[in-house]
Chains A and B, each alone.
Chain A
Amino acid sequence: MSAASLTPSSPPQRPATPRWRGALLPLALLAALAVFPLVASALGLDFYIGFVRRVLVVALAAASLNFIMGFGGMVALGHAGFMGVGAYAVVVLSDAGATSAWVVWGAAMVLAALAAALVGAISLRTQGVYFIMITLAFAQMLYFVFVSLRSYGGDDGYTLPLRPVLGLGLDAMHEPTLYWVVLALVALVLWWLDRATASRFGAALAGIRDNATRMRALGYPVYLLQLAAFTLAGAVAGLAGALLATGNSFVSPAMMHWTQSATLIVMVVIGGLGRRWGGPLGAAVWLALEEALKLHTDYWHLPLGLLLIATALYAPKGLAALADLRARSAR
């Protein structure tokens, strides 16, 4: 098995368009998401504010996975583990008396980055399926570490008595306020991830994905670049976990079970591996379908499973690629 079989082919070159036109759609989307809580409460659909907030957070985690998997060629089956580290950082720090959300979230990112650096340092010695499995192993170890922490609820999870305090006159217990803060953070980090992908660092990463041997021969520090990307993605996943814990006021080891990591991979692939919007798109589609199906049937796994099989067979490049094709044929 070769590393090449795990990596997507580079997306086709985009035709040159003025930069402001590329920003139009994201900005429109951002505006729509920003007014959503107002519309939702006007229509009496307050429940969906929390749902969309969750989608935003998971989209962030999926985007960070897409960064290392789609652009860096590192198929990591343990990303939910870093989300878990971030989530438990919120629990442990809040329990120890830290109240500021910014401190707690920042610490969650740092701790998740540390965990990712350690895991990456060992895992990046391997390749392909072995890399998939060793990242899984470390995530499972993290999972059982948190299962064994009985002072934080062990298997049953832990309910936060209070949400961390946002300060600046913002009330985290007010659902729309937390939503807007999360939206701003997610938008900021997504923008920043996009910039990182387009930077020299991102280009080197994509070069390593396509041909690591050549990049090494050209003098790039392949291992260090991959490790840096892996650590970055871990930090972003940690932030996502911390935001999830803050919003739900509840954390349990179940959120870092290996099937959650697999679901994140599934989201990225469905959305479009190595596509700009692949991660967020896949997360939104998957969670929306899950929510809609759960409403109608107890057997909601089955249609999702069939959808997955169909995607793998007929749209292996994901939904973002389908949208690309449509756009090109319309042009």
Chain B
Amino acid sequence: MNPILVFEQLLNGAGYGLMLFLIAAGLTLVFGIMDVMNLSHGSLFMVGAYVAATVHVQSGSFAVAVLVAVAATVAVAALLEVTLMRRLYGRDHLAQVLATFGVILVADDAVKMVWGPSPVMAPTPAWLSGPVELFAGLPYPSYRLVVLGAGVLVAGLLYLLVNHSRLGMLVRAGASDRWMAELMGVRVQRVFCGIFVLGASLAALAGALMGPLMAVQVGMGESILIPALVVIVIGGIGSVRGAFVAALLVGLVDTIGRAFLPLLLRATLPPAVAADLGPLCAEVAMYALMAAVLSFRPAGLFSAKA
């Protein structure tokens, strides 16, 4: 197999993995600290993507679009926190699943009302539309490279924030033992509101960056939610480090499943069978990974609550 092609696909996988991490980080922090199962996290991703696409077309500036998308989503998230999420702390997971599934339904219809039912165009910024010659024989889309860079940068900042700041200390304390943290005087509730908004801004950033690479349409929040949930479950709920490792793992496994398994099948099996099995492998690889990990480590790879 061509090593350049393999390298290119691995870069694609890492890029997808980093975007998944941006979404999963907010999800796992909220779940780990406040024990709130927030299915509507994907809707925040969708809002970010829609706002970014619209502002980009209107203003012509991609940077402005990303900033406005993050700001708008943070406002929506703050509203959601104050009106709904606050009432769900301490409730059982089913009530949370029910309410946030309700938010998904409301968000999808609200977006459909504002932007219409058909997908929205999210253009690639003009100055990033060309390829970059990474090394001889590998031209790589420069936009994908920027997304990759942004993902690494944000992941690094988040790592510093969680592991080497006072806020991060409070976050980790709340995640590993909320009750004890409260006894020690941490205002977990207030930390949580900050974490919820931070998670929303990460989801919005991912939405704004992913927009040009995928279809900006109603329901995109649900289709990204499942991989993000898979990531936090493989990583171990509440663990940012686990989410990072798992996101890269899922990104790579997904890419390998899509790019290489069909090739392998075509080389070894009769064409008709391979044509049926190829797409199946592509879609199933991620879930097979999760099932395999959970059957050996039922609480994920880096469980915060060992």
Contact = CB atoms under 8 A, between A and B. Distances in A.
Q: Which of B87, B101, B103, B300 counts the most A-chain CB atoms under 10 A from its CB? A: B101
Contacts of B267: none
Interface stretch (A89-97, A129-137, A227-235): A129-137
Given A1-B35, A299-B113, A130 B300 contact: yes
Nearest to B296: A125
A140 interface: yes
Nearest to B106: A305
A301 B287 contact: no
B99 A312 contact: yes
A314 to B, nearest CB: 10
B284 interface: yes
Nearest to A127: B298
Given A269-B94, A308-B99, A149 B276 contact: yes
Nearest to A311: B98
B84 interface: yes
B291 interface: yes
Interface stretch (A109-117, A194-202, A236-244, A257-265): A257-265
Contacts of B105: 301-302, 304-305, 308
A301 B94 contact: no
Contacts of A1: 35, 93, 237, 305
Contact of A273 (B87, B94, B291): B94
B233 A130 contact: yes
B97 interface: yes
Contacts of B98: 265-266, 269-270, 308-309, 311-312
28 contacts: A6-B93, A75-B93, A75-B94, A125-B298, A129-B233, A130-B237, A133-B233, A133-B294, A137-B291, A140-B283, A140-B284, A144-B283, A147-B279, A147-B280, A150-B276, A265-B94, A265-B97, A266-B98, A300-B109, A301-B105, A301-B106, A304-B105, A307-B102, A308-B105, A309-B99, A312-B91, A313-B99, A316-B91
Given A125-B298, A134-B290, A299 B94 contact: no
B288 interface: yes
Contacts of B233: 129-130, 133-134
A269 to B, nearest CB: 5
Contact of A309 (B103, B277, B291, B300): B103
Contacts of A150: 275-276
Q: Which of A130, A145, A150 counts the most B-chain CB atoms under 10 A from its CB? A: A130
Interface string A1-16: 1000110000000000
A138 interface: yes
B112 interface: yes
Contacts of B280: 144-145, 147-148
B230 A302 contact: no
B220 to A, nearest CB: 14
A134 B291 contact: yes
B287 A138 contact: yes
A305 B103 contact: yes
- Shortest beta-carbon contacts, A-B, top 7: A305-B105, A308-B102, A312-B99, A305-B106, A148-B280, A302-B109, A309-B102
A129 B279 contact: no
A126 interface: yes
B99 A141 contact: no
Given A129-B37, A273-B94, A309 B84 contact: yes
Contacts of A128: 93
A312 B287 contact: no
B104 A140 contact: no
Q: Which of A127, A302, A305 counts the most B-chain CB atoms under 10 A from its CB? A: A305
Contacts of A184: none
A42 interface: no
A312 B102 contact: yes
B226 interface: yes
A119 to B, nearest CB: 9
A123 to B, nearest CB: 8
Contact of A129 (B93, B95, B112, B222): B93
Nearest to A7: B92
Q: Which of B37, B91, B92 counts the most A-chain CB atoms under 10 A from its CB? A: B92
A145 B104 CA distance: 27
Nearest to B110: A302
B108 interface: yes
B105 to A, nearest CB: 3
A330 interface: no
A153 to B, nearest CB: 13
A25 to B, nearest CB: 27
A103 to B, nearest CB: 27
B107 to A, nearest CB: 8
B295 interface: yes
B72 interface: no
B273 to A, nearest CB: 11
Q: Which of B107, B277, B299 counts the most A-chain CB atoms under 10 A from its CB? A: B299
B92 A6 contact: yes
A23 interface: no
A122 interface: yes
B229 interface: yes
Given A129-B37, A130-B300, A150-B276, A141 B288 contact: yes
Interface in A142-177: 144-145, 147-150
